Amino acid sequence: MADDIAQESIDTIRALCMDIVQNANSGHPGLPLGMAPAAYVLFNRVMRYDPADPDWPDRDRFILSAGHGSALIYAMLHLTGYALTMDDLKAFRQWGSITPGHPERDPDPKRVTPGVEVTTGPLGQGFANGVGMAMAEEFLRQRFGSEVQDHRTFAIVSDGELEEGIGSEAASLAGFLKLGKITYLYDDNDISLDGPTSLSFKEDVTKRFEAYGWHVEYVEDVNDLHALEQAIDRAVAEEERPSLVRIRSIIGYPAPNKQGTSAAHGAPLGEDEVRATKEVMGMDPDKTFYVPEAVAEHMNMTARGQELKADWQKRFDTWKIEKPELVEEWDTAWAGKPLPGFDSSLPPDWGTDSIATRVAGQKCMAAFSKYTPTMIGGAADLSESTKTEFPGGESEHFSPTQPGRNVYFGVREHGMGGAVNGMAAHGGILRPYGSTFMQFSDYMRGAVRLSALMELPVAWVYTHDSIGLGEDGPTHQPVEHLAALRAIPQLTVIRPCDADETAEAWRITVNGLHGPAAFALSRQNLPVYERGEGKPFASAAGLDRGAYVMREADGDPKAIVVGTGSEVEVAVAAADRLQADGIPTRVVSFPSWELFEAQDQAYRDSVFPDGIPSVSVEAGIGQGWERWVDAAVSVERFGASAPAAEVMEQLGITPDNVAAKVKELVE
């Protein structure tokens, strides 16, 4: 009887997935049909979760990394008791539904798909997200105790995840860190969109992952539930290494005419094939979106989930009594907030009147370190250059034996990006961050885009942000990257002009800035401006509003010079020249377009009054500045290898050039 209800449940899953895709006349039925038995074993027999509370902190995490098979996760969530109705399944891929074409972690409360942990679809991203989730679990378990954090990360991955570079980067990192709470099920079906995988992919996956340091299991037939469950159980029992369960499946099985072909991958099977497949499974072909009563009862995990959560709640209540010193830290970490006292830690004492904003960032992190005990992150083998480490030495390194706060991601920018997103999606990790040179933001753009799409609270800390890098030359000097980052919706880009603006950027970001932030920090030293009432320059608190009058003109302003980052120094010098020539000039620091855009029109008009000509100066392409100013002094070519001052001079980022541009407008 047990085997009968299991098979009937799997057939129901397959039928639902076919109906979901066919009803929308769009989607990918092949993976859901082939991997339905694996999903059944995971959701019905293995994973610990509570459908009534999708945000339970100690739930197992599941990622459908092969997100094109989204019908499978929607069917599973519906059957197991999540708040995903049959009407939601029927609205698959329709406007405003919570069953979009690929699973989405939607930040809009009205469009949350309960049970979907991360947005997947770009292949390999979910693979890397799971590595970040496992890192978060490891860190939190060591910090708070296994009584309250002790869960696993599961995923279904495809050949695409194994072919994409981000998957390789993340797999290598996971193996090195010995993340034994990872169990990934690999849908090994020999088919890709173009045809058989043998067209481009014939490597020995088992040997490859063993070389990464993974434990690998092999299941010859996905339909052998006993072998499948045993293999997953062995993978779960292996806690010294991450596990890959390699499962032989047939894409589109048991569709009689399309199984085993690429025709089952990315298009509905068609009404005739759906009917024929249901007949093969012994189901009524005239019934659609049908769940037998026995299957509905067997698959609903609500009662079991509530028992699991209730057991955890007892442990949690005891833990709060036994470890009261950790309760506030736990509460603030899961709320995404720093501990009280954070604001008073910034800005620190700079101890100098000239400092690179990357170094200022390092001083900020040291100053607020004790108020952000669950903030972790690191750099792509550049921590010495990006200055993104918390103090503490070896004890703060995230290693196979010590999950500290500073992560050595290695030269794996894209894997780092995916893992940082996973940490944020896991919860309990305050504003995780990843860092590299700004030029290499290209190498991780897919992850940055998804952080914005999900509006995750992460920080991307980019340094060496302009041609001011100097001798390393055009390969390392970003010129188009600020424009490229600003083009990503829902990403807040901040380019501070000095140490005080850097402190303000960290303050608003850690304090709850909505969505991801991208910092652009300098390698070269920049002046620390004398700020505040009675001082030459306005408070850096103006950064909160994106742009502000940093220094008013001496007299009614006849022109406005705008700068960001290191070019604010150029703007100030240009304004001095213009003032001397009888043109009263306002200096505006403009560190963030996105924050400025969020201000009301009255404030924006107060910074840029009608009728006063404005010129921006920034050591990158001018694309986009036309939205804010009348003219831009910019760099419309790649940089060059030479001392920084000479590169700036040769490429026109000079006070004289800016002043001349202003005079053209004024005259």
User: Any idea what the CATH number is for the domain that residue 512 is in?
Assistant: 3.40.50.970
Residues contacting residue 580 through CB under 8 Å, at least 6 positions apart: none
Residue 209: is its pLDDT beyond 50? Answer: yes
Residue 1: is its pLDDT beyond 80? Answer: no
Q: Are residues 586 and 622 in the same domain?
A: yes
- Intra-chain end-to-end CA distance of the chain, in Å: 90
Cα 161–Cα 167–Cα 170 angle in degrees, nearest 5: 150
Q: Are residues 108 and 251 in the same domain?
A: yes
What average pLDDT does this structure show over 200-210?
95
At residue 2, the pLDDT reads 57
Let me know if residue 538 belongs to a domain: no
Backbone angles phi, psi at 391, to 5 degrees: -65, 155
Q: Scanning the structure block, which residue is given the tokens 């001798």?
A: 471
What average pLDDT does this structure show over 444-458?
98
Cα(317)–Cα(304) distance, integer angstroms: 20
- What b/e sequence results for 15-31 when a residue is b if at least 16 CB atoms lie within 10 Å of its CB, and e otherwise? bbbbbbbbbbeebbbbb
Backbone angles phi, psi at 13, to 5 degrees: -60, -45
At residue 608, the pLDDT reads 98
At residue 195, the pLDDT reads 87
Q: Which of 277, 306, 335 is the last residue of a domain?
A: 306
Let me know if residue 566 belongs to a domain: yes
Q: Are residues 377 and 521 in the same domain?
A: yes
What sign has the CA pseudo-torsion 658, 664, 666, 667? positive
What average pLDDT does this structure show over 443-451?
98
Q: Are residues 81 and 42 in the same domain?
A: yes
Let me know if residue 158 belongs to a domain: yes
Q: Scanning the structure block, which residue is given the tokens 């709060």?
A: 320
Catalytic hit among 104, 413, 569, 618: 413
Report yes or no on whether pTM surpasses 0.85.
yes
Cα(564)–Cα(353) distance, integer angstroms: 19
Cα 407–Cα 408–Cα 413 angle in degrees, nearest 5: 105
At residue 524, the pLDDT reads 96
Residues contacting residue 106 through CB under 8 Å, at least 6 positions apart: 98, 112, 113, 454
At residue 193, the pLDDT reads 87
User: Residue 42 burial by CB count (10 A; 0-12/13-18/19+): exposed, middle or buried?
Assistant: buried
Q: Are residues 191 and 255 in the same domain?
A: yes
Let me know if residue 534 belongs to a domain: no
At residue 658, the pLDDT reads 98
What average pLDDT does this structure show over 569-584?
98
Instruction: Give the confidence band of 191 by pLDDT, cuts at 50, 70, 90.
Output: confident
Strands 525-527 and 517-520: unpaired
What is the tens place of the pLDDT at every residue in 79-127?
999 999 999 999 999 999 999 999 999 988 889 999 999 999 999 999 9
| Cβ(259)–Cβ(273) below 8 Å | no
Q: Are residues 521 and 547 in the same domain?
A: no
Domain total of the chain: 3
Q: Scanning the structure block, which residue is given the tokens 């539904």?
A: 97
What is the tens place of the pLDDT at every residue in 524-564?
999 999 999 999 999 999 999 999 999 999 999 999 999 99
Cα(566)–Cα(570) distance, integer angstroms: 8
Q: Are residues 189 and 228 in the same domain?
A: yes
Residue type, 239: E
CATH number where 639 lies: 3.40.50.920
What is the tens place of the pLDDT at every residue in 332-358?
999 999 999 999 999 999 999 999 999
| SS3 call for 175 | helix
What is the tens place of the pLDDT at every residue in 410-428?
999 999 999 999 999 999 9
Q: Are residues 178 and 301 in the same domain?
A: yes
> Considering the chain, what percentage of its residues have pLDDT values greater than 70?
100
SS3 letters for 379-441?
A: ECCCHHHHCCCCCCHHHHEECCCCECCEEECCCCHHHHHHHHHHHHHHCCCCCCEEEEEHHHH
Let me know if residue 537 belongs to a domain: no
> Considering the chain, what percentage of its residues have pLDDT values greater than 90?
96
In angstroms, what CA-CA distances link 331 with 51, 109, 551? 23, 22, 42
Catalytic site includes residue 501: no
| SS3 call for 537 | strand
Q: Are residues 368 and 293 in the same domain?
A: no
Q: Are residues 596 and 645 in the same domain?
A: yes
| Cβ(103)–Cβ(113) below 8 Å | yes
Cα(334)–Cα(412) distance, integer angstroms: 28
Q: Scanning the structure block, which residue is given the tokens 């495809």?
A: 158
Q: Any bridge partners for residue 531, and if so which?
A: 537
At residue 3, the pLDDT reads 84
Q: Which of 470, 497, 526 is the last residue of a domain?
A: 526
Q: Are residues 85 and 224 in the same domain?
A: yes
Domain that holds residue 486: 343-526
What is the overall mean pLDDT for the chain? 97
What average pLDDT does this structure show over 205-221?
98
99-102, Cβ contacts within 8 angstroms, sequence gap of 24 or more: 99/20, 99/70, 99/74, 100/70, 101/26, 101/27, 101/70, 102/67, 102/68, 102/70
Instruction: Give the confidence band of 197 by pLDDT, cuts at 50, 70, 90.
Output: confident
Let me know if residue 121 belongs to a domain: yes
| Cβ(630)–Cβ(613) below 8 Å | yes
* CA-based radius of gyration for the chain: 28
User: Residue 389 burial by CB count (10 A; 0-12/13-18/19+): exposed, middle or buried?
Assistant: buried
Let me know if residue 34 belongs to a domain: yes
Q: Which of 526, 554, 575 is the last residue of a domain?
A: 526
Task: Pinpoint the alpha helices (H) of 511-592.
Answer: 567-580
Q: Are residues 34 and 82 in the same domain?
A: yes
Residue type, 506: W
Report which DSSP code applies to 95: T
Cα 99–Cα 104–Cα 110 angle in degrees, nearest 5: 70
Q: Is the peptide bond before 489 cis (omega within 30 degrees of 0)?
A: no
At residue 69, the pLDDT reads 98
Let me know if residue 581 belongs to a domain: yes
What average pLDDT does this structure show over 23-51?
98
